[in-house]
Chains A and B, each alone.
Chain A
Amino acid sequence: EIVLTQSPGTLSLSPGERATLSCRASQSVDSIYLAWYQQKPGQAPRLLIYGASNRATGIPDRFSGSGSGTDFTLTISSLEPEDFAVYYCQQYGSSLSYIFGQGTKLEIK
């Protein structure tokens, strides 16, 4: 089974800075099946990026996704106060199952 490892576990940055979050898969995955979600405390997750690089409906263009094979990246170009949250990558696999990474917490420095 594929394992998704996110790094760093916690990222401390200030508003206006650039955030780079990593998601590494234990084996190569088809990028069409790689998504990113944002979760704020007490809220349900929200789809940010699908197909590794496509923004979901209503997602600001400061969010971007990239990568292929085993290495994927979520970039937030200039952090807004509302961006501080936990971010999860997720892969949909050949066994018709979903795997989530353990999450990266983006906190205000």
Chain B
Amino acid sequence: QVQLVQSGPEVKTPGASVKVSCKASGYTFTTYGISWVRQAPGQGLEWVGWSSARSGNANYAQKFQGRVTMTTDPSANTAYMDLRSLRSDDTAVYYCSRRRNSHGFDLDYWGQGTLLTVSS
């Protein structure tokens, strides 16, 4: 069965960086993309970006351009999201999800989420 397992919770100070991992299993990693979505406490869903597991190409939401890098390691079936220059409003649960490369490119399986807390 398809599973996405994310790394554990992180606590960072403002200005620091964080790298969240997402290990996939149960499907051929390179035939799908990985998208990242975050959810601040009590708020809705906000798309951060996605990366192709096959090519490594990535596309980011404009508000994160320059602060985020998404990569994939097909040899480890793992995707990574690196977020830099952290601010308190980056505090959120970050989800990875499998991005279908057909249909409407929807997000059909999700990881359990990684809580990032940014606080001095």
A residues with a Cβ closer than 8 A to B are 32-35, 37, 39, 44-47, 50-51, 54, 56-57, 88, 90, 92, 96-103
Contact = CB atoms under 8 A, between A and B. Distances in A.
Contact of B103 (A32, A39, A45, A102): A32
Contacts of B107: 35, 37, 45, 47, 90, 98
Given A96-B59, A97-B61, A98-B35, A45 B45 contact: yes
Contact of A88 (B45, B59, B110): B45
A45 B95 CA distance: 9
B44 A88 contact: yes
Contacts of A103: 44-45
B110 A51 contact: no
A88 to B, nearest CB: 6
Q: Which among A44, A56, A90, A99 has the highest number of chain B CB atoms within 10 Å? A: A44
Interface of B: 35, 37, 44-47, 50, 59, 61, 95, 97, 103-113
A97 B108 contact: no
A91 to B, nearest CB: 9
Contacts of B45: 37, 39, 45, 88, 90, 100, 103
Given A50-B106, A100-B44, A103-B44, 4 more contacts: A35-B106, A47-B109, A57-B108, A103-B45
5 residue pairs, one from A and one from B, having the closest CB atoms: A44-B110, A98-B47, A35-B106, A33-B104, A100-B45
B113 A100 contact: no
A102 B104 contact: no
B106 A44 contact: no
A36 B98 CA distance: 15
A91 B45 CA distance: 12
A52 to B, nearest CB: 8
